């Protein structure tokens, strides 16, 4: 226990900047063999190395696409959003090694999209939802904050949603249903066994597989996003799957965009506490409770895995649990890889400014006043950023 304490320094939680102790981030651009990455081409090998480290130490290993997959339209309502949109419900059927698994997603697209016309397919925002379908899409207050379909349709975007629980239930007995039916794991899980975040992110990639077959969707312009725990999984999905054209983290915090070594707000030891969320991560992550310095990675490296694709990280002033400053700094450190690709970078020392969004050619950031939430205001910033990336013809 003494050694643990010595390594960790402060062991209580803090929400005060003055209590953040000095730390050193593992070098983003130095490969395991000691060579330094100097070009965009060289980054690819480093990227592969980092992906493996995140699998082994943080999120766990999970196979890619199933051996067989198909999807089916279950229902269609052409009068959604006051007749301005069509809402469809699909089921995705997966099969691997004789095992099967299915889950659903909903897609809403503006009416009048003519897939036969060149350039008319729409970009889509795909939300990884911690709310059930019952709650989302039927309750006005929830839709206004979590999934403002009307706003997205009005601004010319399609939007889709699926529910985390169908992939891996968000509770401590998570492994008794969902994706485990397709990819069984031993009990207890192996050190690098996948957790909930990886499972949810996997779901996002399967929805993207379907988008590639849906004519009204422009699969090269799909933004994957999530709030909080959903934001953590959106980042991991976007890191693994380079088909996502934009990756958005809304208040994702610990295990998401925030630097673990800052130990500000929620820490690894807290998130992994037995009564909290150990099942979101690989068991190996337990080794770094109050031992962040031993982690071979930090979360700026997760963000860098998205490069050079567009990436947006957002925080809220009152959401200290998620460490707004640590989220911004991770993004700014990751921007080194964007610079390597000829894009604009960000300065980690730049002070955070409220309600003053940053938009570079590939990176977005804002600090919204208020609480831990995915609000209409957040969505408006994301849509503005997408407009700037993907100008309408
Ligand atoms: C908890 C958890 C966070 C998580 C959040 C959420 O607060 O500690 O890590 O981001 O739930 O998903 O809302």
ipTM for the predicted complex comes to 0.94
State the pLDDT at residue 67. Answer: 98
Distance CA 229, CA 328 (A): 17
Lowest-confidence pick of 175-189, 244-258, 294-308: 175-189
Structure tokens at 165: 């629980």
DSSP string, 93-156: EEEETTEEEEEEEEEEEETT--TTSTT-SEEEEEEEESS-TTTTTT-HHHHHHT--HHHHHHTT
The CA distance from 67 to 30, in Å, is 36
355 is catalytic: no
Ligand 1 pocket, CB under 6 A: 228-229, 253-254, 266, 271, 321
Q: pLDDT for 86-106, tens place per residue?
A: 999 999 999 999 999 999 999
Mean pLDDT of all residues in 335-339: 98
Largest CA distance in the chain: 68
Q: What is the pLDDT of residue 117?
A: 84
Contacting residues for 93 by C-beta, under 8 A, at least 6 apart? 69, 70, 71, 72, 100, 102
Give the pLDDT band (50/70/90) at residue 3: very low
pLDDT for 137 equals: 66
pLDDT at 116: 81
The pTM (predicted TM-score) of the whole model is 0.96
Select from 228, 250, 269 the residue to mutate for testing ligand 1; criterion: most ligand atoms less than 8 Å from CB.
Answer: 228
Q: Would you call 249 a catalytic residue per the annotation? A: no
Q: How many angstroms separate the alpha carbon of residue 363 from the centre of ligand 1?
A: 24
Token readout for 285 is 């992550």
Of 197, 266, 375, which is best to mutate to test ligand 1, by the most ligand atoms within 8 angstroms of its C-beta?
Answer: 266
Task: With a cut of 50, say whether residue 193 has pLDDT above it.
Answer: yes
Q: Grade residue 5 by pLDDT with cuts at 50, 70 and 90.
A: very low
């Amino acid at each position: 226990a003494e050694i643990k304490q010595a390594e960790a320094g402060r062991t209580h939680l803090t929400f005060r900047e003055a209590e953040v102790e000095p730390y050193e981030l593992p070098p983003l651009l130095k490969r395991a063999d000691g060579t330094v990455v100097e070009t965009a081409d060289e980054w690819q090998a480093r990227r592969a190395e980092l992906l493996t480290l995140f699998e082994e130490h943080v999120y766990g290993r999970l196979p890619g696409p199933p051996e067989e997959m198909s999807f089916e339209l279950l229902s269609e309502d052409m009068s959604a959003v006051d007749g301005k949109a069509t809402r469809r419900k699909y089921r995705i059927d997966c099969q691997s090694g004789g095992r099967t698994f299915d889950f659903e997603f909903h897609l809403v697209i503006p009416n009048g999209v003519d897939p036969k016309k060149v350039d008319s397919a729409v970009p889509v925002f795909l939300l990884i939802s911690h709310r059930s379908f019952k709650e989302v899409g039927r309750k006005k207050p929830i839709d206004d904050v979590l999934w403002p379909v009307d706003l997205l349709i009005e601004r010319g975007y399609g939007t889709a949603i699926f529910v985390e629980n169908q992939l891996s239930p968000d509770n401590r007995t998570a492994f008794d249903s969902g994706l485990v039916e397709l990819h069984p794991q031993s009990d207890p899980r192996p050190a690098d066994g996948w957790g909930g975040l990886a499972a949810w992110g996997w779901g996002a990639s399967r929805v993207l597989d379907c988008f590639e077959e849906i004519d009204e969707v422009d699969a090269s312009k799909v933004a994957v996003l999530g709030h909080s725990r959903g934001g953590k999984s959106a980042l991991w999905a976007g890191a693994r799957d380079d088909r996502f054209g934009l990756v958005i983290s809304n208040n994702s915090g610990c295990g998401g965009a925030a630097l673990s070594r800052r130990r500000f707000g929620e820490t690894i030891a807290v998130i992994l506490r037995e009564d909290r969320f150990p099942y979101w991560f690989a068991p190996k992550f337990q080794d770094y409770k109050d031992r962040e310095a031993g982690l071979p990675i930090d979360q700026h490296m997760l963000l860098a895995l998205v490069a050079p694709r567009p990436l947006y990280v957002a925080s809220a002033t009152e959401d200290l649990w998620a460490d707004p400053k640590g989220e911004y700094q991770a993004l700014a450190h990751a921007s080194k890889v964007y610079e390597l690709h000829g894009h604009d970078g960000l300065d980690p020392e730049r002070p955070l400014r409220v309600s003053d969004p940053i938009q570079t050619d590939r990176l977005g950031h804002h600090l919204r006043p208020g609480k831990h939430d995915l609000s209409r205001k957040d969505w408006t910033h994301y849509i503005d950023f997408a407009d700037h990336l993907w100008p309408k013809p």
